[in-house]
């Protein structure tokens, strides 16, 4: 029933929780509303009256959303922060650009933390902090970050774009296109990871090597990303898609 679908989707869609958890909640809440409706229908004048009575018994959507959000484990709330969601009216390219920006900022932070970690590890091995700082090849690090970070950004943009294409293909039920996008995406990550590995092996100073290894490892993980999307998408295809609710959702 559309009114129930809308009410439940309005409650659940903004939740910071996994898709699996939301799907489970949705089925259960819809089941409850359907039972309440059947009960109300027996004494009501019309379907509409029964629907409104069932919704009134169920409770306010905003309040319920807050309560349900509080029932989601803290780690899951953090992992499913809404940063990765499409904004209303946002184009594919704008979405991919925004996500690439976040990814690049994250990589930059990771690189900075790795460099700081290297300095600290030297200091812990007996050097004074000042000496450890002075003996670090900052020029090389800054130069390589200066080159590497734009490369990461340039890689992430098409990756997010392809990820979106994969998701859209899955939503259409076009599994072949989803696999094609996934293959292109994985191949790009593989080239990037291999390039990083070669750079580490042949021509990089020892300190910066650790930063590159971290980036290379992240890229290797990226190989699996599209296949996780496809696996999750196939699972979601078995369930009813979210219904359109307007700009706020």
Q: Which stretch binds another protein (CB under 8 A): 62-70, 131-139, 145-153, 207-215?
A: 62-70
For another protein, which residue of 3, 44, 53, 68 counts as binding (CB under 8 A)?
68
Question: Nearest approach, Cβ of 69 to another protein (angstroms)?
Answer: 9
Q: Which of 42-81 are b and which e, b meaning 16 or more Cβ less than 10 Å from the residue's Cβ?
A: eebeeeeebbebbbeebeebeebbeebeeebeeeeeeebe
Q: Is 59 in the site for another protein (CB under 8 A)?
A: yes
| 148 and 114 Cβ atoms separated by less than 8 Å | no
Q: Is 70 in the site for another protein (CB under 8 A)?
A: yes
Structure tokens at 188: 């790009």
The nearer residue to another protein, 37 or 208, going by C-beta atoms, is: 37
Q: Is 58 in the site for another protein (CB under 8 A)?
A: yes
Task: For residue 244, give the H/E element and its range.
Answer: none
Question: Nearest approach, Cβ of 93 to another protein (angstroms)?
Answer: 38
Question: Nearest approach, Cβ of 171 to another protein (angstroms)?
Answer: 22
Give the whole-angstrom CA distance, residue 232 versus residue 228. Answer: 6
Give the whole-angstrom CA distance, residue 156 versus residue 159. Answer: 5
Residues in contact with another protein by CB under 8 A are 11, 24-25, 27-32, 34-36, 57-60, 63-64, 67-68, 70-73
């Amino acid at each position: 029933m559309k009114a129930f679908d809308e009410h439940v989707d309005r409650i659940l869609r903004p939740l910071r929780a996994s898709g699996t958890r939301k799907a489970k909640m949705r089925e259960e809440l819809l089941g409850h509303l359907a039972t309440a409706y059947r009960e109300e229908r027996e004494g009501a004048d019309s379907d509409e009256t029964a629907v409104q009575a069932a919704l009134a018994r169920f409770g306010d959507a905003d309040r319920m959303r807050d309560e349900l959000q509080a029932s989601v484990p803290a780690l899951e709330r953090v992992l499913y922060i809404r940063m990765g969601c499409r904004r209303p009216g946002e184009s594919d390219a704008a979405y991919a650009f925004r996500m690439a920006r976040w990814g690049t900022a994250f990589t930059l932070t990771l690189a900075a933390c790795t460099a700081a970690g290297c300095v600290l590890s030297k200091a812990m091995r007996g050097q004074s902090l000042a000496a450890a700082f002075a003996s670090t090849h900052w020029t090389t690090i800054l130069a390589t970050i200066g080159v590497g970070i734009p490369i990461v950004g340039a890689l992430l943009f098409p990756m997010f774009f392809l990820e979106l294409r994969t998701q859209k293909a899955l939503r259409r039920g076009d599994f072949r296109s989803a696999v094609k996008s996934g293959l292109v995406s994985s191949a790009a990550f593989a080239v990037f990871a291999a390039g990083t590995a070669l750079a580490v092996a042949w021509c990089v100073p020892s300190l910066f090597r650790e930063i590159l290894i971290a980036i290379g490892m992240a890229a290797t993980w990226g190989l699996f990303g599209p296949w996780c999307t496809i696996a999750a998408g196939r699972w979601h295809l078995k369930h009813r898609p979210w219904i359109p609710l307007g700009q706020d959702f």
